[in-house]
Amino acid sequence: MTAAPPAGSGTTESGAGAPRRRAVGLLLGVSLFSLLADLGTKQLALAELTGREPVSVLGGAVYFSLTRNSGAAWSIGSDHTWVFPIITFVVIGWIAWMALRLRSLPWAVSLGLVLGGALGNLIDRIFRAPGHFVGHVVDMISLFDPYGQVWPVFNLADSSLVCGVVLAVFLELTGRQRDGSRLRDEKRDDVAATEQRETA
């Protein structure tokens, strides 16, 4: 007969913490991959596209066109570049807070994409010209037009952010919670508990 683990041995806590460790590990892995991909493509764009005309691929559906953006999409806020690092730090703090109760792997992917994209553009804001915290973001992908007339020129960090936000909206709409539970299951449990109380 196997002896039960002594009280306070930490077995329960260790088992309960495993989903959180997996989720946080996935979040960090996705964010690191996203960040490295963004930094790598920016360096490649600077090396290959500086001083060149836009390069057309896929029959003009996509152009590689090097630009430096001081604002957000469509150059919104270009005169207030210093605001964007502050917003990014707030986002990073929010993700760190969310990670405290993170158990869901889909949410880990979503938050990892947002974190990686935010860090990719934050590095540009801090370290690129014209100066610290007012640096211009390197963009290089333009859709259907070589100069961003159809859609703003963007980079992989922007793509990561958008994909992360879209996934977060989908998870919210389908009732998936960051702790791994689902609203649908919680509502069903509440209904069952209410019925039990009424029949007792």
The whole-angstrom separation of Cα 106 and Cα 99 is: 13
Half-sphere exposure of 114 (CA within 13 A, CB side): 24
Dihedral sign for Cα 125, 129, 134, 136, please.
negative
Cα(49)–Cα(128) distance, rounded to whole angstroms? Answer: 17
34, 130 Cβ separation under 8 angstroms: no
Residue in 139, 145, 179, 185 annotated catalytic: 139
Please indicate whether residue 139 is annotated as part of the active site: yes
> In the annotation, is 179 catalytic?
no
Distance, in Å, from the CA atom of 182 to the CA atom of 131, rounded to the nearest integer, reads: 46
Catalytic residue among 145, 158, 185, 190: 158
From CA 29, how far away is CA 1, in angstroms rounded? 42
152-170: b or e for each residue (b if 16 or more CB lie within 10 Å)? Answer: bbbbbbbbbbebbeebbee
β strands within 27-155, DSSP E: 55-57, 62-69, 137-143
- The residues that are catalytic are 139, 158
